[in-house]
């Protein structure tokens, strides 16, 4: 019997790590169980300031830290060293806010740090917002300085001084779609607050000042004007109507001290900002955060409310869903749009903040049902100046839905103790949400209990931040702590996310399009450098994925939607893809270019990858010139998979060789028998 062996072509896919070797240190931190674990030391053990902002200062695709001193008068940058697994102080990047370069440059205490490329040269700069005495004069003039990066690991010695604002922080946005960052806020004039635009002239910088104070025209068919920002506010620059271009969301003081109203101004290439709608938040509403909570392709609002008159300290968490035309899915009964039509504006979008059982677009979570003896902490008592502790949102378990992190307080025997609490996203059911919210498949939040014992109650905890330590695609946590005596000597504790996750992720960073690959820098001696640190505020990310039951789902994310009042958002978007055996089918990235099409789509993106999108398009007006770089994150089991694959190839090869030998031997025997028969007949 002839045995035919057929060998197929076996190919071994190459394993590609992130360019800076981020996976190396993750293997140093191994823990036996699923959960959160404190990281012993990442180079900040002797640092007494607080983490105030994030950014890639040395353009190596690793996220660095901006540390504000306890006095709020000094700033240092700590860059991440992936080989050593820790942060190192950048010697040339120290800033002393007490030093004055001009008479118009007062000595201030910083109340917000905002990294960004303000002079559009490919180097990361720093906007410092502060006041002369924010503790005793919180409503005093607001001074702003921009320290320009010199491309040599530090800043230019003299800052650019902007015209001061009234007490409320100006919001960052792009007023004319030229991809540079402008500011919108109020200034004092004849005892009145007048809305003004700090116009960015980065593309003419040198022959013109970096910023000039100008009037701005806002369009409204209802004779609406921009309301005066409350202090602190929750203003944001992100896409709310679904067209992949950022819109302006502002919060203002209502008729009474407990009332907060909001306005939404949508972005129009023809007219600029156009009034869309306004509404009221529930009484005693806290700061607003934004995320796509239910994975329907629209960004929703999340905010707390706490009634100070309630002795029990009862607090609530509100999720107000953005009502846009939904993507079509199975058993879709109402009007819908195709899942692939990801950037079509819905002029009928709205938020319904009415707190009623019949409102299935508003989910209310009672904090006392989750944590009976705790209340939310919404202000930091150790911070000088107006501040607000937002609900931090991020997908720490990779299931594709945003989770939440809260700062809570409990009075134990007359002593206040603080804790960081994790809440994970779950689908609404009858005992958690209203009937309407359950029917429409809304989601709510539940308390994370397993694996979070290291997030224990302590006296010195102040707040928690989501952060991808080592940039390896896992959402870790930074706990900010200070002594109970309110001395302000802050320090940071990093918590390693060791939750076992059988799901995928993707990480995106959109640049500002200043250059394609290498930027010359603004300083004559600056080396050419890639523009990885120049993230673009307000960029829109939308992606579609097929889940494990075959349903195609679309999710929206916003890049750096909020910057004021120590927002401390990361410059990248890290999101889970859930359990899937497929690629990211469509990835759409939107900017605010003032042109006919300001977004681009890519198909078939590999999961567990870091994506860097450059919207550089030169002199053209075409988004097709945008480019994307993809870096695959190595899996911790890659070596084991390689060994198994090599052993399998060896076994298959050995089997084929043995069978081939048997086949040749059998062929030889058949040939000999045939010759023997022929010779016998001849006789």
In this predicted structure, what is the pLDDT of residue 30? 73
Q: Evaluate whether 93 touches 78 at the Cβ level (below 8 Å).
A: no
For residue 313, CA distances in Å to 254, 422, 481 come to 23, 20, 23
**Strand 609-614 to 504-510 pairing:** parallel
For residue 88, CA distances in Å to 41, 44, 78, 79, 628 come to 12, 8, 5, 5, 30
In this predicted structure, what is the pLDDT of residue 190? 85
Residues of the chain scoring pLDDT < 50: 1-27
Q: Evaluate whether 487 touches 383 at the Cβ level (below 8 Å).
A: no
Q: What is d(CA 394, CA 462) in angstroms, rounded to the nearest whole number?
A: 19
Q: What is d(CA 555, CA 322) in angstroms, rounded to the nearest whole number?
A: 13
Residue 244 makes CB contacts below 8 A (sequence gap 6+) with 342, 343, 540, 542, 588, 589, 590, 598, 599
In this predicted structure, what is the pLDDT of residue 619? 80
Q: What is d(CA 659, CA 572) in angstroms, rounded to the nearest whole number?
A: 55
The burial class, CB within 10 Å (0-12 / 13-18 / 19+), for 348 is: exposed
The burial class, CB within 10 Å (0-12 / 13-18 / 19+), for 195 is: middle
* Strand residues in 482-638 grouped as ranges (E): 491-497, 504-510, 540-546, 552-558, 573-578, 584-590, 599-605, 609-614, 627-632
Give the model confidence (pLDDT) of 335-358 as tens digits: 788 877 899 999 999 999 998 878
Alpha helices in 250-401 (DSSP H): 367-370
Q: Evaluate whether 120 touches 512 at the Cβ level (below 8 Å).
A: yes
In this predicted structure, what is the pLDDT of residue 526? 59
Q: Evaluate whether 632 touches 15 at the Cβ level (below 8 Å).
A: yes
Q: What is d(CA 427, CA 436) in angstroms, rounded to the nearest whole number?
A: 13
DSSP structure class, residue 219: B
Three-state DSSP class for residue 650: helix
């Amino acid at each position: 019997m002839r045995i035919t062996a057929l060998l197929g072509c076996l190919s071994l896919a190459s394993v590609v790590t992130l360019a800076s070797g981020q996976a190396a240190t993750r293997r140093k931190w191994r823990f036996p169980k699923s959960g959160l674990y404190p990281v012993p030391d990442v180079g900040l053990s002797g640092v007494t300031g607080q983490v105030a902002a994030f950014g890639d200062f040395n353009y190596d695709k690793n996220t660095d830290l901006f540390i504000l001193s306890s006095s709020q008068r000094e700033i240092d940058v700590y860059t991440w060293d992936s080989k050593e697994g820790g942060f190192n102080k950048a010697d040339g990047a120290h800033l002393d806010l007490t030093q004055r370069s001009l008479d118009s440059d007062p000595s201030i205490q910083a109340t917000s740090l905002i990294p960004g490329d303000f002079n559009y040269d490919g180097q990361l700069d720093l906007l410092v917002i502060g006041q002369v005495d924010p503790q005793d004069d919180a409503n005093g003039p607001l001074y702003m300085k921009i320290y320009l990066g010199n491309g040599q690991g530090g800043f230019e010695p003299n800052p650019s001084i902007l015209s001061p604002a009234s007490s409320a922080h100006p919001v960052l946005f792009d007023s004319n779609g030229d991809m540079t960052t402008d500011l919108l806020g109020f200034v004092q004039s004849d005892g009145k607050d007048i809305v003004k635009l700090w116009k960015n002239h980065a593309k003419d910088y040198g022959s013109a000042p970096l910023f000039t104070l100008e009037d701005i025209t806002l369009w409204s068919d209802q004779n609406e004007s921009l309301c005066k920002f409350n202090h602190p506010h929750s203003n944001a620059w992100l896409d709310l109507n679904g067209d992949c271009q950022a819109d302006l969301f502002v919060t203002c003081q209502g008729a009474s001290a407990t009332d907060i109203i909001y306005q939404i101004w949508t972005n129009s290439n023809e007219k600029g900002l156009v009034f869309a709608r306004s509404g009221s938040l529930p009484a005693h509403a806290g700061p607003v955060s934004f995320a796509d909570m239910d994975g329907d392709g629209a960004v929703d609002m999340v905010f707390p409310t706490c009634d100070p008159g309630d002795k029990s300290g009862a607090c609530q968490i509100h999720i107000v869903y953005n009502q846009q035309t939904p993507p079509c899915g199975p058993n879709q009964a109402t009007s819908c749009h195709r899942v692939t039509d990801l950037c079509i504006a819905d002029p009928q979008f709205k938020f319904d903040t009415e707190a009623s059982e019949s409102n299935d677009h508003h989910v209310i979570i009672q904090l006392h049902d989750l944590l009976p003896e705790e209340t939310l902490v919404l202000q930091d008592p150790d911070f000088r100046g107006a501040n607000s502790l937002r609900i931090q949102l991020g997908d720490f378990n990779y299931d594709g839905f945003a989770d939440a992190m809260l700062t809570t307080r409990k009075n134990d025997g007359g002593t206040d103790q603080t804790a960081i609490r994790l809440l994970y996203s779950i689908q609404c059911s009858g005992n958690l949400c209203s009937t309407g919210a359950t029917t429409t498949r809304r989601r709510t939040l539940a308390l994370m209990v397993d694996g979070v014992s290291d997030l224990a109650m302590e006296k010195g905890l102040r707040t928690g931040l989501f952060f991808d330590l080592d940039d390896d695609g896992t959402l870790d946590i930074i706990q900010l702590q200070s002594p109970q005596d309110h001395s302000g000597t802050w320090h940071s504790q990093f918590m390693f996310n060791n939750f076992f996750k059988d799901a995928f992720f993707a990480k995106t960073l959109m640049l500002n399009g200043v250059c394609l690959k290498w930027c010359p820098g603004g300083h004559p001696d600056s080396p050419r450098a890639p523009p990885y640190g120049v993230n673009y505020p307000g960029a829109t990310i939308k992606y579609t994925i097929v889940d494990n039951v075959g349903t195609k789902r679309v999710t929206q994310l916003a890049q750096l939607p909020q910057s004021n009042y120590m927002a401390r958002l990361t410059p990248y978007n890290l999101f889970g893809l859930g359990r899937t055996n497929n690629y990211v089918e469509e990835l759409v990235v939107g900017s605010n270019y003032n042109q006919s099409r300001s977004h681009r789509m890519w198909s078939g993106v590999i999961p567990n990858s870091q994506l860097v999108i450059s919207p550089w398009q030169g002199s053209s007006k075409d988004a097709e010139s945008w480019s994307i770089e993809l870096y695959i994150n190595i899996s911790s089991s890659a070596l084991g998979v390689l060994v198994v694959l090599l052993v399998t190839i060896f076994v298959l090869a050995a089997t084929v060789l043995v069978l081939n030998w048997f086949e040749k031997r059998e062929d030889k025997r058949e040939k000999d028998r045939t010759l023997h028969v022929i010779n016998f007949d001849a006789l």
